[in-house]
Structures are given as structure tokens and as C-alpha cells.
Structure 1
């Protein structure tokens, strides 16, 4: 019998879970798809001057723990955003300033972005999903700042500039090449 099947199941003491809904993460700029281009000096995305209230994934984790362990969050919907909305160009400028590197942002047409992904031989479904995120989800409707973190934790969300300083310090965006 596997050990997991012998362990008691931990369940919340309440029936209706809290629902956290988050905007794009700060960490998109230091992990996975955005990191390589930033290290190379240019992040090109199929998005124009749409501002997004990026949020720190650490804040999302804090809300999740709180929501799973405290019954007073039962049934709550927490819209989670950072304290200010930035365009992708503004976010890249903050990274460039903190790292003292020349890093640019370039808005590219969705079809050019698709072609670049196809050249990398990425699966069509992944390409479609990414383009959907940039062209449909990222359309400005999520730009307003929300108070979900303040309501749940009693404090404001972390700011992108603080995240950039924390992330730049150990050299995440240092160009080694």
C-alpha cells in the first residue's frame, strides 16, 4: 500500500473555496520564455502599449496558503494585481536600468511572432495558446488595479521595481556572453 494512501486527507474546514485570479507574473521576465531574449538584449512580443498590472508569484502563493488555511476566506474572489500597471516596454526598461544593460522591447506583429515560433518547431497548439494570450487576453481589460491582496492579507502587493532589484542582485539578467 503506497504511503500516500495511508495518510489522512487534509481538507479545509469550510465548503466554498476562495478563488484567486491573477494577472501576469513578475517572474515571466526572469524565467522560461522571456529570459533568453532579455539576456540577448531584446524582448520581442506581439503586444503594443497595453499596460498590465503584473504581480509577484510570491504574493499569489501567500494568498493561496492563506485561502487554504483560514476559513474567513471561504467563498471570496480575490482579483490579484500588482500596485501599478506597466507596459512590457516599461517593464523591460526597469530591468535594463537595474542591470545597467541595454535591453530593448520590440512590439512585433502576431504573424511574425507565429513564424518565429514555427521556425523553432514549437507545437502548433502552444503557438496558438501564446498568441491567444497576447492578442485576446492581453487586450487592456485587465489593466485596472485590484485590491485582492490588500483584502486578503491586509497589505499591498509587492512592486515590480522591488522584484527587479531582488532578481537583478544575484545576476539573473547578467549577460555572460
Structure 2
């Protein structure tokens, strides 16, 4: 592939998040000038404050668009449309958007990016491996019991490192414009099977149980999770885990010419770094 953006500034939105942090690190390692888009950055970016957008977009030619907290939340399409206009007006030529596999709301936002006039690539991701060790669910896994409003529905969990590798390729190389990459791991697992593999490879028993969505919401509230996050998680779990996303896809292979990372390899590495220890 031909490298096209090594000397141009790239804005990485949600640049301290699971994928954004990895994208920024990889771009920096390639010598690509990066501006991290976050509220705490030297040049702040805040999705809820459009007055921060012009400075964040100044001099930018490529954008990794990761919307926080999720493209399924109310108001996301309006924010994405406004941002795309601001980006095009600022001279942005290329945009890679992180999307959710099987999410209608996310795909509506994809359509906005595709119609914006930029060179676009869509990265539709399955549930991240790293949700088990880098988010609120890590504490439950560490405590030995994860309970979610999801039954025996398999999910082809994907590594955030694979997502970042695909995003960086799309940001820095030719040949990815106009592509929609559905990114998954190589095999599907139920949540119970995933906890079983963590138990097997770490020697620490982690149980899984299914709970009613109302019980799930109450439990999160008792743990101090904000109402808007509870509503989002409940919606995602009760909507997306109906089997629509159960089959693995070939997006990583299509984008990078290699196989995606397996969940068992992730477990071994995460455990070696001290994940899931109280």
C-alpha cells in the first residue's frame, strides 16, 4: 500500500479510549503527527461543546471518528453531521469511523460520514475483548462473577488492537477508501464460554449468569453507574444480543491480510499484566 498521510496531522477522537489510545500510539510510532481529541487534551475536544471543534480541527487532514459514549445514544446523528460539516470546512480529506456491528443507529451515522464528501472507511466492530479487563466489567470478572442480561447467544468478540491496526491502515494507506470492514475475532463464544476460558487459562474461577434487564439496571445503579450509562448498556444488551451478530466476519483478513487475534491469546496476555487481580 502507498502511504499517503505520514506528514499530515491526524485527529484521533476519543483519543484516550480503548481504541483511540491504541490508534494514537500506532500513528505516533509511524511518525504521523497526531492530535489527541479529548476534553483533557492541550487543545481540548468535547462532543458536547462545538466551540472546541475549530481549534481541534485546525490543520487536520485525517480523522479517526470515535463517538463517546456510543453512536446509539440520542443526538449522535446530529453531532456527527455537525462534526462532518466542520471537518470538511476545515479541510479534512479522510475519515475512519468506528461503528457498532448490527447497530441501526450507528449505521445511520455511517451514512452521514459517507455522504460528507471525505474519503471514508467504516470500521464496524464486535464486542471488544478489552471490555472484560479495561472497563466496568473488569471488576466483576476479578470478583469471580459476571452477570448480564444476555443468555446463550454467541458473540465473535474482537481485539481492540486489531481494530486499531485496521484503523491505522485506513488512515495512512491507499486502498481502504469506501470499504466497510466488519471486525470480529476468529470464533464466537457465549459470555458463559468466555468466562469459562478465562477460568481455564488463569486458574481463577469466574462464573457467568443471566439476569433480567431490570435486575441488571438495579445492580448497576447500586454500584454507582450513572443513569445514562445504565440506559445505554441495557439497550445494547437487550437489542444487539439476539443472534444478529453471532457469525464471525472476515474484516480483519480483508483489511490487513492476516487472521484476527484469538480470545485465548488475549486472556494469556491480560493475565500476565495483572488483569483480574483484586
Among 202, 206, 212, the residue aligned to 1:99: 202
SS at the partner of 1:32?
coil
Inter-CA distance 121–33: structure 2 relative to 1 (3 Å threshold): closer
Question: How many angstroms apart in 1 are the aligned matches of 2:253 and 2:162?
Answer: 11
What 5-or-longer segments of structure 2 have no aligned partner? Answer: 1-41, 44-54, 63-91, 95-117
Deviation at 1:107, TM superposition (A): 0.8
Q: Secondary structure at the match of 1:71?
A: coil
Contact 1:17 1:68 in 2 (8 A): no
CA–CA distance in 1 between the matches of 2:205 and 2:225?
A: 28
| 1:124 aligned partner | 227
Show the 5 A alignment for 1:1-177. Answer: 8-11=59-62, 15-174=118-277, 176=278
Please tell me whether the aligned partners of residues 93 and 119 of structure 2 are also in contact (alpha carbons under 8 angstroms): no
Which runs of no fewer than 5 residues in structure 1 stay unpaired? Answer: none
Post-superposition CA distance 1:110-160 (Å, at most 9, x none): 111111123234332221111011100122101111111101100111000
* 1:38-62 Cα distance to aligned partner (Å, 9 max, x none): 1111011111001000000000000
Q: Which one scores higher on RCO, CA 8 angstroms, separation ≥ 6?
A: 1
Alpha-carbon distance in structure 1 between the residues aligned to 2:271 and 2:198? 8
SS at match of 1:64: helix
Deviations 1:2-52 (A, max 9, x none): 9978x7433476642111100000001111211111111101111100100
Q: Structure 1, residues 67-94: CA drift from partner, whole Å, max 9, x if none?
A: 0111210100000010000000111111
Aligned residues: 173
Q: Is the CA contact 1:21–1:80 (under 8 Å) kept in the aligned structure 2? A: yes
1:99/1:173 contact within 8 Å kept: no
Residue 103 of structure 1 deviates from its aligned partner by 1.2
Question: Normalising to structure 1: TM-score of the pair?
Answer: 0.90
Q: Secondary structure at the match of 1:19?
A: strand
For residues 182 and 206 of structure 2, what CA distance do their matches in structure 1 show? 31
CA distance in 2, matches of 1:167, 1:122: 24
Q: CA deviation at 1:101?
A: 1.0
> How far does the alpha carbon of each residue in 1:146-176 deviate from its partner, in whole angstroms, 9 at most, with x for none?
11110110011100011011111122123x4
